[in-house]
Structure 1
Amino acid sequence: MRMIRINCSVSLVTFLWMMILVRGDTDVSCYVEESCILPCSFQKDPEVVIHWTKLTEGLPRVHSFSKNQDQLEDQDQNFGNRTSLFKDQISRGNASLLLTGVTSEDWGQYQCYTRTTSGIERSIINLKVKDTDVTCYAIGNCMLPCSFQEGHLVSIQWTKLTEGRPRVHSFSKNQDQLGDQDQNFRGRTSLSKDQIFRGDASLQLSWMKAEDRGQYECYTRTTSGVKTSIINLETDDNSVAFGFIIFGIVVAVIIGIGICILPCLCIAACIYVYKD
């Protein structure tokens, strides 16, 4: 009897596992203020329930569909009037979401949940939001642009959108706050203090490296409100290599000149002393 119960339990777990299909993550990149499609497909069925949620605290509902119509009563207000499904494609197994007026706050993970008579499917979409693309070159300085509405009590935080969200540069109380700055950026970042109170929070990054490429977030807070901007920084690999070669040549030339001049100075000094 115990063996029969165990076999039934295993069969039930196997059945449920087969009924719920979890697809691999999909990466999507979109630009601020533009429209963006978050892809999602399922095994087509005339009766389908679709739930789009954002995988953040509270799991805000992005869009829902059931009984052949949208169900937006519990839609999160941040997505109001900004989402839609391709109604003529749902019967063909397309549950993709159209997100309009993309903002930097839309960045993050989304789940597409579909339920039909065939089972349940879940897809995870990683949405990366780009505000501005910047390409910089080796060794020189690079400016990451960021602007905000002027106001009092300015607070600025630059972070890199990688694991751990390393702090690149911070400013508050009318001065830099670099106590928690990531060591990879120490001595390489600066803000234009005379421009901050004109609404310019652009960051100057010196001595560019290939490792600097990636997405950066500029967060500003004033009495006028909060704003977040995403900057996508690219580096030219060829220029990086070329830059280091030029740098090496310059250093070698300086050392060479120093080696040539030093003996001459020593000889000149000896002659001067000898004449005296």
Structure 2
Amino acid sequence: MDGKKVLFPLVTLISLSCQDQTNITAEPGQNVTLPCRADQNRPVIVAEWIRTDIKAEYVLRYRDEQSDPEHQHRSFKNRVRLQDGQMKAGNVALVLRKVTSDDRGTYQCWVVEEHSSEKKLIGTIHLDVAPPVPTQDQTNITAEPGQNVTLPCRADQNRPVIVAEWIRTDIKAEYVLRYRDEQSDPEHQHRSFKNRVHLQDRQMKAGNVALVLRKVKSDDRGTYQCWVVEERRSEKKLIGTINLDVAPPVPTQGNKDGSRKYGTGHQHHGLIGAAVFITGTICSCLVLLCKEQG
């Protein structure tokens, strides 16, 4: 060489390991732990969590016993931490708080171990976030036209309700009633329910979100659903399904005591008068017949 120094670029080697993918399903609002463990005999000095569909930013980068906020994706700020901040025994599990549907995806756990310059993939987790499948039975209610009817629904009384929504399943884009901030929210309310519906308890005490529907009519027939948002949660939850039928009363042919009805009071008086007239006529004829024979 001619005496010039030759500088070689610093290359960080990346090692790929072939572990199976772990699948985890969580409900919206839960805290979830994504497990990951490195070789406990080789202390971890850097841990990085990424989501494969977010190319340039981290879910969490942890080094020097603290989170490194540089290049952290904004949706994970103040929502993630390592289960063990000291990464003892290679534990680099990630705790993700209050998951939402936007957190669905495939997460990867990478580490740099002590006395090593290479980054190593040690865990792959697929996270699905889905609401629980409703298990409540459907309630059937029949009302007569013109009646006021109450559609019962009650949430968990230990979790205060901050939003209540009633919908009818055949009305796609509009509410029967949406209630929040201690008042009805008229936005997107279907016109046929305006000024006809209210909550039975506007303070929703003990989870009572029953709906009162005034002067029902045949057009009110349908399946109604009751959804709520509880305090400190961001996801809606279905807690009640009501099938409402509106039909006129079936005509009855008899009195309550089982006897048949023959008409109104005026009709009864007419029948009595006719009977008296006929009886009198018959008596007159009998008298005349007796005189002729005598």
TM-score bracket relative to the smaller structure: 0.3 to 0.5
More helix by share: 1
- Which has the greater radius of gyration? 2
